[in-house]
Amino acid sequence: MSLKERLPFNADPVYLIDGTALFYRAFYARADLKRADGFPTNAINTTLRVLMNLLRDENPGHVGFIMDGKGPTFRHQLYERYKAQRPAMPEPLAQQIEPVRRGVELLGVRLIVSDGVEADDCICSLAHKYKQERPVVIVASDKDLKQCLDRNVVLLNQAGKADKIITLESFREEEGLEPAQWPDFQAIIGDSADNIPGIPKVGPVTARKIMAICPTLEALRDNCAALPEKLREKVEPELENVFLYRQLTRMKPDCCDFPLGHFALEPMDLDGLHDFLDEYELRGLKRDLPRRPGKTGTPPQVAAPAPRDQFSLFGSPAAAPKQDDEPPVTEVARTDDLPTLAGEEVGLVFENDAFFVGVEGHEYRYTGPADALALALEHASVLATPSVQELLRADPAWGYLLSSQWFDLSLAAYLLDPEARNYTWPRLRQSMFQDGRPEFAQAAEGLHPRSQGLAALAYMNGIRGQVASADLAPLMRDLEIPLIPVLVSMEQAGIGIDLAAFAGFLNDVSGQLDALTRSILDHAGESFNIRSSQQLAAVLFDRLEIKAGGKTATGQRSTANEVLESIRGQHPIVEDILEYRMLEKLRSTYLEPLPKLVGDDGRLHTHFNQLATATGRLSSSRPNLQNIPIRGKYGPRMRACFTAGPGAMLAAADYSQIELRVLAHFSGDPALIDAFRNDEDIHTRTAALLTDKEPQDVLPDERRNAKTINFGLIYGMGPQKLARELAITVNEAKGFIERYFDKLATLKAFYDTVIHEAEARGFVTTLAGRRRLLPELHSRNNQLASQARRQAVNTVIQGSAADIIKMAMVAAHKDKELAALNGRVILQVHDELIVEAPEPNIRPAGERLKAIMQSVAALAVPLKVDLGLGRNWADAH
């Protein structure tokens, strides 16, 4: 649905695009697209793709593409350090500036290069000029442009996975401010992306408190005495500076003056576009263009345009194949009727109870038995298929083929872009015809869009080079594809369930919930729906007059668990509600549904998802066994419900502090390495460093604090969250973090190096070569950029830990000694593997698993595994 349909515009809008921001994002979104001679084309391709999509979807009459020009701006004259920390533009990006500008103009879009002022200022000026005449859509992600919002001006932010429309009303609701106040607000909090300091130790929450009392900087200057004393002490020394900061954050509404007609979309230069896309080998973009004038063949049928449609770039959908236009397929029921498959690259897709086999330019629909087809394919050189896991789940015959023969299309797409989420075959096949990548355009040349086996082969040919150029081929070949049969074997094995234990547990929890319900209603003095957050808020904050702990994004009083945790000492009802919620989750998520999912064999069979997380960790579903409670009051009892089969026992092998060991390996920090090599308690050792004590003198609370920060910093924990975790002030948390990095100085250097390299390359890699793209590192949105920096460090550590346990799973599955003991891996949860074996063999099977896990990767510190044995999971753990 177009913006014109989603928003009540009374006229066609003018679109003003922040071309510089789009250009940067395009560069870091795909770092590996190049012309045959090595010239980078990633920013050209994605920038023009986004622009062409906008022209197609919105069919605009007026568009401006505004880019930063050369030279310093007035802001550099006002403040010498403005943007001083920003690295120089990468050379491969700078090489693409001129081609992108040329491509924009060939599309008929007016290009403005703003020398001496920033593109944002030009956009602000133009929006201010045109908003009285017609709606204005600013296509940008820069938060500074929020000050341009008006009843006739909206922001279209394309920085996330989905477009976000920001209107005047949504801005007011989200920020609690008016657009005119935005420069004042930004001046107070500062902007690290532009090197604007702001008032020290004043963040968004405090700034809103200030502006609730003094809505402008002028009011702040004149009425600073009205602020609470602690706030006044922060603000007064910066009153002169903050006006300078506002000059840096405020857009210039009078620096760009073009008549509206200047931005009328012009006819594209079709000849020039074809030559341009040929020059940069952007064949995927060419597929979306009408044919070049003078070319033979039937041109796209374009409906007679309305006046504002006359410059539409795209032909009508009639040019697409009709639904009944089926690709040519040969029906076969016997493998004898297939051509020789030995030594061939074959596309294989199972759909609608048939196998579609693509080979040597021909497509066959095979309806015979799977085992016969698997036998016919045993000497094929490569088998390109959407999901090897689905084939193995459907028929064990596919397991006899070598893992080196498979090319898993969904897995390849996932490794290249682990945050795309959708790797289904229909989506991948569609992308081959719509994606702008030249590799796909060449591979799909002349291919019917509804073909299956040949399309699988074409997709492989299009993506295989990308996998290789991203150095992902070894990861796919040596780890991820060999892991697939391991996962299917675990799914089919399942884990035993003690139904009587589940029933007893459910009965006890149900009784406790009934008692808690009575207690909560007695405390409330009235009957209400405990599950209703609105009714609960009324009871807590109105009837019982408990001080509200926070608000939701929509301004409602929050009853989230973290809020209730902060007020649990104010009234006994809060403790009851927290206990009620915990037990209700236990009942509804595990105790009631899991027994219903048990198979005829008395075991629970989960599905392991290999393509679900950006860090490479596995997940499970139907049911999810990755989040079974393991700690707390009820964790052991929950685990005790999972058992070995008759005559068997379980061995649970759990990596000890694997992420901290990976951190020690990558960072080379001598304190961490020494502690792990000497098998010391790492949290006690860290606490001793932080408190200047001997390890034996460390108190339990000091060890707990060190443990929190050791693990928290892997996940990017900041001072605010650390303060909440340790129940200390934010300033104390900041001091704690500073002391931590002072004592473990190598860690800080490692974190900085990871982020610096990620900013330069656009991605991070793990121990096994897994890659995660992080385009938001260069976002002008501080929140997005900060999140990307946390993700960079977290992915290197957590992703490498995921690599190691996958290596262990593959090694254990192939291990002949473990197989001789009839030991089989049946479950993986986070850093733990569970093996089931006959009772007499369980100890040697567990010890063998432990040895495998400790030897699969050579790190600077030893891998350590804790092993437990038992009839059920709780005893083994």
The CATH number that applies at residue 535 is 1.20.1060.10
The pLDDT of residue 726 is 82
What burial class does residue 637 get, using C-beta atoms within 10 Å of its C-beta: 0-12 exposed, 13-18 middle, 19+ buried? Answer: middle
Asked whether residue 129 falls in the same domain as residue 274, the answer is yes
The pLDDT of residue 769 is 94
Token pair of 756, please?
A: 């610096």
Residue with tokens 């702008």: 436
What is the pTM for the complete model shown?
0.71
| 206 is a domain residue | yes
**Beta-carbon neighbour count of residue 877 at 10 Å?**
20
Residue where one domain finishes, among candidates 588, 604, 620 = 604
| 571 is a domain residue | yes
| 82 is a domain residue | yes
**Beta-carbon neighbour count of residue 36 at 10 Å?**
7
Q: How far apart, in whole angstroms, are the C-alpha atoms of residue 274 and residue 295?
A: 12
The CATH number that applies at residue 453 is 3.30.420.10
Q: Which amino acid, 849?
A: L
Asked whether residue 588 falls in the same domain as residue 470, the answer is no
Asked whether residue 402 falls in the same domain as residue 431, the answer is yes
Asked whether residue 600 falls in the same domain as residue 738, the answer is no
Residue where one domain finishes, among candidates 743, 768, 792 = 743
Task: Give the C-alpha distances (Å, rounded to integers) separating 484 from 407, 429, 471, 481, 489.
Answer: 12, 22, 20, 5, 9
Provide the number of structural domains found in the chain: 6
The pLDDT of residue 364 is 96
| 310 is a domain residue | no
The CATH number that applies at residue 36 is 3.40.50.1010
Asked whether residue 337 falls in the same domain as residue 468, the answer is yes
Asked whether residue 75 falls in the same domain as residue 150, the answer is yes
Cis peptide before 99 (omega within 30 of 0): no
Residue where one domain finishes, among candidates 717, 743, 769 = 743
Q: Are 335 and 366 contacting, i.e. CB atoms less than 8 angstroms apart?
A: yes
Asked whether residue 34 falls in the same domain as residue 170, the answer is yes
Integer-rounded Cα Rg, in Å, for the chain is: 31
| 147 is a domain residue | yes
Q: Are 341 and 359 contacting, i.e. CB atoms less than 8 angstroms apart?
A: yes
Q: How far apart, in whole angstroms, are the C-alpha atoms of residue 99 and residue 278?
A: 12
Token pair of 772, please?
A: 């995660």
Q: 10-residue block means of pLDDT along the chain (877 residues)? A: 72 91 83 78 90 87 90 76 73 90 93 86 91 90 88 81 80 87 90 81 86 89 87 87 87 84 89 90 79 51 35 35 66 93 95 93 94 95 96 94 94 91 87 70 80 94 90 95 96 95 96 95 91 87 82 68 83 93 91 92 94 91 86 89 96 94 93 91 88 88 88 77 82 85 87 90 93 83 81 92 97 96 95 96 97 96 96 93
| DSSP calls for 252-293 | PTTS----GGGGBPPPP-HHHHHHHHHHTT-HHHHTTSPPPT
The pLDDT of residue 84 is 67
What 8-state DSSP symbol labels residue 131? T
| Domain of residue 579, residue span | 496-604
Asked whether residue 429 falls in the same domain as residue 521, the answer is no
Asked whether residue 599 falls in the same domain as residue 739, the answer is no
Q: How far apart, in whole angstroms, are the C-alpha atoms of residue 354 and residue 867?
A: 46
Q: How far apart, in whole angstroms, are the C-alpha atoms of residue 460 and residue 412?
A: 9
Asked whether residue 833 falls in the same domain as residue 689, the answer is no
Q: How far apart, in whole angstroms, are the C-alpha atoms of residue 529 and residue 537?
A: 11
Token pair of 744, please?
A: 């473990």
| 189 is a domain residue | yes
The pLDDT of residue 596 is 92
Asked whether residue 224 falls in the same domain as residue 358, the answer is no
Rounded (10°) angle between helices 700-714 and 719-726: 150
The CATH number that applies at residue 218 is 1.10.150.20
Q: How far apart, in whole angstroms, are the C-alpha atoms of residue 157 and residue 624?
A: 34
Q: How far apart, in whole angstroms, are the C-alpha atoms of residue 22 and residue 138?
A: 12
| 733 is a domain residue | yes
Asked whether residue 456 falls in the same domain as residue 555, the answer is no
| 801 is a domain residue | yes
